[in-house]
Amino acid sequence: MATEKATAVACANIAFIKFWGKRDAELNLPANSSLSMNLEGLTTVTTVEFSPNYDDDLVILDGQEARGEARQRIVAHLDRVRAMAGRRARARVISENSFPVGAGLASSASGFAALSLAASRAAGLELSQRELSILARLGSGSACRSIPGGFSEWAVGTCSEDSFARQIAPPEHWDLRDVIAIVSRARKLVGSTEGHSLAPTSHLYQARVASVADRLAQARAALLKKDLAALGPLIEEDAVSMHAVMMTSRPPIYYWLPSTVRLIREVQDWRAGGLEVYFTLDAGPNVHLICQAADQTEVEKRLKDIEGVLEVIVSGPGPGAQVIEP
């Protein structure tokens, strides 16, 4: 086999209705469906090159050779692609994140989406968007939502073949903004994968899972109508419901910092004063402020005065994963 190389780019995404808890940890099948927006400009660019001349897989992440578990997770993904393509050649993977390294933002969604597209193309596979989303999901659950562009819904499904993300609206549907307030750049104490496995130990977990379908249907309808007054409270409720499960897991996981709570309170005050902005959080202390484009500057301005905000990153609806031609 000759050398085969491809490069792909994918965006991170922010979930409005979250994925927390897996019904199958091997296949990354979620306990519930989820809904998200790709984040423009928060990207991972990944090049994969298979060659019969390589003795082993080499993975370079943001200029550093990956080792241990981080490398193993990527090698396992390359193995999936090799199995699909019926190939054995080892690979070189070079991956760069556009967002500040260590800003506390998850890179596994953009990372596994870009890796899935680059590795499958380099191995000579032309996967459909559905197949790519399934492949990305096997690497990291939320990565399946970074394959389609704009706003996506990941269906809980019944098995591996029907649990993937579909676009529900393109990026140009609605110019929502995610104004991200970074309050910590520290690596999280409990990674998402471990957190998912603890979720069922919370007495709130079953109640949360049972409540998602309804909330998601309402959120989807609000999103399609571009109704932020309807969507916003659902986004907040879902994020808090997820964090309530985290905080009541055994052992509990507290991702919030004092500045996280301060920001949540500020958002409520700002809204009471007429600024239409809502919060959400992933598995970490940083706060994502969701607002319309017209309010972005005001939200950014107010964040500058809040104690504990280290950095503000602004994003809007981003495209789907794409191959970058050489």
Binding flag, residue 15, ligand DP6 (CB under 6 A): yes
| Local structure of 22: helix, strand or coil | strand
Which of 18-26, 80-88, 228-236, 253-261 is the region at the interface with ligand DP6 (rule: CB under 6 A)?
18-26
Q: Which is nearer to ligand DP6, 97 or 142 (CB)?
A: 142
Binding flag, residue 146, ligand DP6 (CB under 6 A): no
Binding flag, residue 93, ligand DP6 (CB under 6 A): no
Up-side HSE of residue 204: CA atoms within 13 Å toward CB? Answer: 16
Of 17, 4, 32, the residue nearest 219 (C-alpha): 17
- Within 167-206, the residues that bind ligand DP6 by CB under 6 A are 192-193, 196
- Specify the amino acid at residue 95: S
Among 104, 111, 141, 171, interactor with ligand DP6 by CB under 6 A: 141
Among 33, 97, 107, 108, interactor with ligand DP6 by CB under 6 A: 108
Query: Could you tell me the smallest distance in angstroms from the CB atom of residue 143 to ligand DP6?
Result: 6
Among 18, 121, 177, 208, interactor with ligand DP6 by CB under 6 A: 18
C-alpha span between 316 and 106 (Å, rounded): 16
Whole-angstrom CA distances from 202 to 43, 118, 193, 214 are 33, 38, 16, 21
Among 89, 283, 287, 321, interactor with ligand DP6 by CB under 6 A: 283
C-alpha span between 58 and 186 (Å, rounded): 26
Mask for 20-39, x = binds ligand DP6 (CB under 6 A): x-------x-----x-----
Report whether 199 contacts 181 (CB < 8 A).
Answer: no
C-alpha span between 19 and 22 (Å, rounded): 8
Q: Which is nearer to ligand DP6, 62 or 194 (CB)?
A: 194
Among 46, 140, 152, 315, interactor with ligand DP6 by CB under 6 A: 140
Strand bridging mode 165-169 / 151-154 = antiparallel
C-alpha span between 186 and 102 (Å, rounded): 7
Report whether 182 contacts 104 (CB < 8 A).
Answer: yes
Binding flag, residue 282, ligand DP6 (CB under 6 A): yes
Q: Which is nearer to ligand DP6, 141 or 150 (CB)?
A: 141
Contacts of 231 (CB under 8 A, 6+ apart): 16, 219, 222, 223, 278
Which of 60-68, 88-96, 139-147, 287-295 is the region at the interface with ligand DP6 (rule: CB under 6 A)?
139-147
Q: Which is nearer to ligand DP6, 18 or 92 (CB)?
A: 18
Q: Which is nearer to ligand DP6, 19 or 205 (CB)?
A: 19
Query: Could you tell me the smallest distance in angstroms from the CB atom of residue 304 to ligand DP6?
Result: 26
Which two three-digit tokens encode residue 44? 């991972």
User: Could you list the residues that contact ligand DP6 (CB under 6 A)?
Assistant: 15, 18-20, 28, 34, 106, 108, 140-142, 192-193, 196, 282-283
